[in-house]
Amino acid sequence: MERAILEVWPGKAYPLGATYDGTGTNFGLFSEVADKVELCLFGADGTESRVTLPEVDGFVWHGFIPNIEPGQRYGFRVHGPYDPAEGLRCNPNKLLLDPYSKAIDGNFDWNQSLFGYTFGEPDSRNDDDSAAAMPKSVVINPFFDWGSDRPPGYEYADSVIYEAHVKGLTQTHPDIPEQIRGTYAAVAHPAIIEHLTSLGVTALELMPVHHFANDSTLLEKGLTNYWGYNTIGFFAPDSKYSSSPNPGGQVQEFKAMVRALHEAGIEVLLDVVYNHTAEGNHLGPTASFRGIDNAAYYRLVEDDKRYYMDYTGTGNSLNVGHPHSLQLIMDSLRYWVTEMHVDGFRFDLASTLAREFYDVDRLSTFFELVQQDPTVSQVKLIAEPWDVGPGGYQVGNFPPQWTEWNGKYRDTVRDYWRGEPATLDEFAYRLTGSADLYEHTARRPVASINFVTAHDGFTLRDLVSYNEKHNEANGEDNNDGESHNRSWNCGAEGPTDDAEVNALRARQQRNFLATLLLSQGVPMISHGDELGRTQQGNNNVYCQDNELSWIDWDNADTELMEFTRTVAALRAAHPVFRRRRFFSGDTVRRRGGEGLPDIAWLAPDGSEMSDEDWDSGFAKSIAVYLNGQGIPYLDVRGQRVVDDSFLLCFNAHHEPIEFALPARHFAAAWLPVIDTAADDDIQGTEVAAGAKVSVGARSVLVLHAPTE
């Protein structure tokens, strides 16, 4: 081993990680249990030079080394106590990634050296050196020409979110050069940006791009951790999505992607996994946090600290009750906003972050820190409001500044369109922003991130094509993935030549998309749903990095795409679908006419819904009047917001239903603008007030009444 003599200055305890200033690099690592910390520098040929960090302040070990430049690969070795029963797992024979790595180079070579114990003997100590098997942290160039970059800054109410996977979105697109497909550069390609803007997308929510580890168990099966919910670097954009051959080049490429999306008026949101790390449970590798300060970074079982509390189903949970774990999370969030210019975050299994002790506490320290932080509090914050621990399902219970993936919206809308009984009243709540979930905490309809499908589960096409999951390709005998999907195959399981079944499936997809885009709240489209993407019935493609999970651009459903664009444009053009306040039912006085409520629920015969109608378990048809003159707020110029009025007729019955249009004082005439029962764009003819219109079996009809 080469031990080069390097000049080492004391440096600074902050910021943590590796910070290049143009003359050299400062290194800082927190460890409360360390006796000594060695910085390990690696040459291009893999030779290692070790330097003992000379200073420690507030448990931060630090030093500055002149002439260390971007591209330098490094890691740490932490000397300290090894006593797993007490939660102590220091071992200087294990090379450790910097928790504050801005970039990571290389992959894990899964062998015995990565583990702190000998296989089959979990209480033993293994002193094999792991450096050769470890990826390396990389010193980055922090400088980037952002030009005139500014965050688009959309209000939630005006947002349309598109959830996508960097590779899955771009890997097969024929207009993207092959050498950049599957990368950040591909996401920034004009072909992708044009597609997103044509759909009215205002925010691209990327599935995890924090550097993650591929599980050895998946690699042994010829599979991979495709989704990326296995983070090992909370500051580092994953190099697997970079077209740059240079260590650290992924940082510049990611920034260029953000700049291009911002230029097109698209925000960038990141799906972040701060609830656990890739080190797993007590049988996992010692790759970073575990070997640095195990008890500070992880929740350990109180009466046997060899083991980890697991609220995530992945083996461990970050210890958000410890100040340095909280600092790591907050520093990471601020870094992605200030240095990488992202516009917000979706927090995976966010209930875990609320568990200061055992129970979920929405006022835990983490949420207090976010509330008080002048940077993080100003970006979009979206919670996945559940985890796998006791009491983990917390839809509707997050703090006021947070929005939430509304799992009840997904379940209710799926049940309604597959014809489940007794769903009408809850369907009405979900369509109008879920006031029953959010109004009691002074939140507004935009607290509800509405979705029908997401990365986890069936695609939209599969939702209407399969009753059962088909996950055999995952190698778990079809035991993985959710079994209760609230799906309906429309009469045949999987692909079929039956024209009637295929027509119904196409209509059901249109129903879901129309409902989603015309509901109050914030719609989220799962990538490829507008193109008819299928995973062949696999509802858990977390390990499938192949054609099964990628968008098949060559076989895109262009008719469905055009329909989605049409409905999205209708939403964008009319603020009555993007209200910032819940409906009140109050009467809105109109000049020279009768007062009308801001919303009215009508039975198919045109009468207002009665209690008996709402309680009817078999009812599957309803109309809702949205009063464009009943929007109770002013725009940014202080002008009253006024819009046209709309009538939305929903029919989940298996036969057509005649709907009587409301009386003349609602509107003199109505013009059909969306009909999911039509195979192409409708050229509607005005229908007089009080007349009857036929709403097709399992379809939505949207009628428009211009402001008088």
Active site residues: 348, 384
CA distance 67 to 241: 29
Burial class (CB in 10 A: 0-12, 13-18, 19+), 367: buried
Dihedral of CA 547/549/550/553: which sign? positive
Residues 6+ apart with CB under 8 A from 290: 89, 116, 279, 284, 297, 298
Contact indicator for 652, 687 with CB cutoff of 8 Å: no
Looking up tokens 């709403």 gives: 695
In a 10 Å sphere around its CB, with 0-12 CB exposed, 13-18 middle and 19+ buried, how is residue 589 labelled? exposed
Query: Whole-angstrom Cα distance, residue 308 to residue 186?
Result: 39
**Distance, CA of 522 to chain centre:** 13
- Of the candidates 554, 555, 540, the one whose C-alpha atom is nearest the C-alpha of residue 226 is 540
Structure tokens belonging to residue 522: 């914030």
Q: How far is CA 110 from the centre of its chain?
A: 29
Quote the tokens at residue 242: 């970079």
* Residue of 447, 557, 570, 463 lying closest to 514 (CA atoms): 570
Q: How many H helices and E strands in the chain?
A: 15, 31
Q: Whole-angstrom Cα distance, residue 647 to residue 705?
A: 8
Dig out the tokens for 482 from the structure: 């959710």
Please state at what angle helix 323-338 crosses helix 289-297, rounded to 10 degrees.
110
Where would I find the H helices in 123-248?
166-170, 184-187, 190-198, 216-220
Phi, psi angles (nearest 5°) of residue 94: -105, 115
> What is the DSSP annotation of 103-136?
-EES----SGGGSSSBTTBTTS------GGGS-E
Instruction: Please report the DSSP string for 255-324 in residue order.
Output: HHHHHHHHHTT-EEEEEE--S--TT-STTS--SSHHHHHHHHHB-B-TT-TTSB--SSSSS--B-TTSHH
Angle between helix 499-518 and helix 558-573 axes, rounded to 10 deg: 20
What are the φ and ψ backbone dihedral angles of 570, each rounded to 5 degrees? -60, -45
User: Angle between the 407-417 and 424-431 helix axes, to the nearest 10 degrees?
Assistant: 130
User: DSSP 3-state assignment of 212?
Assistant: strand
* Beta bridge mates, 626: 599, 646
Only one residue has tokens 């993080």, namely 376
User: Contact 660/623 with Cβ under 8 angstroms?
Assistant: no
24 close to 66: Cβ distance less than 8 angstroms: yes
Query: Position of tokens 């995952």?
Result: 474
Whole-Å CA distances, 684 to 473, 701, 705: 46, 11, 12
- 645-651/699-705 β-pairing: antiparallel
The CA dihedral of 626, 629, 635, 637, to the nearest 10 degrees, is: 160
